[in-house]
Structure 1
Amino acid sequence: MTVDQPRGTKVRGTRQASALAAALASLPGFCSAQEIHAELRRRGETVGLTTVYRHLQVLSEQGTVDTIRDPSGETLYRQCGSSAHHHHLTCRVCGSSVEVEGRVVEQWAAKVAAAAGFTSVDHTVELFGLCPEHSA
């Protein structure tokens, strides 16, 4: 099935989409678009960086790719491990990441939104710390 986006970006069923999916599956943790592009080049793929960014944006909107912003503000991507809404706890040193359920965060977000009269609210929570390997 091909998904047509407003700018004409076709994500599923294209050679670039297959190559991007394979690269994402092989990369550990969250990576920048430039790192993903470098992995594609290493594999001999001729996908342009702009195409990588476009595909990652579409896949992120579809929920098949997780995104976080690192402490410097750069967007990082990884293949989604879960289709349910979740949050991430990411190591500032090595970039390893675990998915965490945030029931308390969900309740807090709903309470704050309701108190302000907002409805249909989305949110993103990104937690950064040191993994057990780097906590010494």
Structure 2
Amino acid sequence: MNAVIHERRSTVQKEAVHQALQDAGGFISAGDLHHRINAEGTPIGLATVYRQLNALTQSGHADTIPVPTGQLFRACQPGAHHHHLVCENCGKAIEIGPPDEAWIRDTAAQHGFTVTRHILEVFGRCADCPEG
């Protein structure tokens, strides 16, 4: 019986994290997401939020990017490789197409590297956020 309650709670919490991430509309920290979920009335621990965000990232349902203050997460659809334009102020993100793969591989080869993967995020301020 206790395992059934724990499983149900995990499912509710998993769905709460996934829904809150989708509602965020851009990149958000685990701490801010944790605060939002609790404020909406779903009790959840910060460790659980991190665990669920990592699971969503591994399954391809969330993107993550490193920033100076830690890590940010954003809901996405699994599938094609993509990159982002990210507003440093509000976290709004726009998916952009990948750079030319041949350029990446040629540049790496010129310096004696073999490409195993790449990550490209472009940061700035969106039109809705004032310069500052």
- The interval holding the TM-score normalised by the smaller chain is 0.7 to 0.9
Contact persistence 1:89–1:127 (CA under 8 A): yes
State the AA in 2 paired with 1:126.
E
Deviation at 1:82, TM superposition (A): 5.7
CA distance in 2, matches of 1:24, 1:133: 21
Partner in structure 1 of residue 3 of structure 2: none
Contact persistence 1:86–1:99 (CA under 8 A): yes
Q: Which has the higher helix share?
A: 2
Contact persistence 1:64–1:83 (CA under 8 A): no
Contact persistence 2:60–2:77 (CA under 8 A): no
State the AA in 1 paired with 2:123.
F
Q: Structure 1 unaligned runs (5+)?
A: 1-9
Secondary structure of the corresponding residue to residue 14 of structure 1: helix
Q: 1:19 aligns with which of 12, 16, 21?
A: 16
Contact persistence 2:60–2:78 (CA under 8 A): no
Which deviates the most, 72-81 or 33-42? 72-81
Q: 1:60 aligns with which of 57, 60, 63?
A: 57
State the AA in 2 paired with 1:110.
R
Normalising by structure 1, report the TM-score.
Answer: 0.76
Which deviates the most, 77-86 or 93-102? 77-86
CA distance in 2, matches of 1:111, 1:45: 50
State the AA in 2 paired with 1:130.
R
Q: Structure 2 unaligned runs (5+)?
A: 1-6
Normalising by structure 2, report the TM-score.
Answer: 0.78
State the AA in 1 paired with 2:73.
Y
CA distance in 1, matches of 2:105, 2:59: 23
Contact persistence 1:69–1:126 (CA under 8 A): no
1:92 aligns with 2:88: yes
**Across the two proteins, how many residue pairs are aligned to each other?**
122
Secondary structure of the corresponding residue to residue 67 of structure 1: strand
Secondary structure of the corresponding residue to residue 31 of structure 2: helix
CA distance in 2, matches of 1:103, 1:22: 31
CA distance in 2, matches of 1:24, 1:93: 18
Partner in structure 2 of residue 131 of structure 1: 126
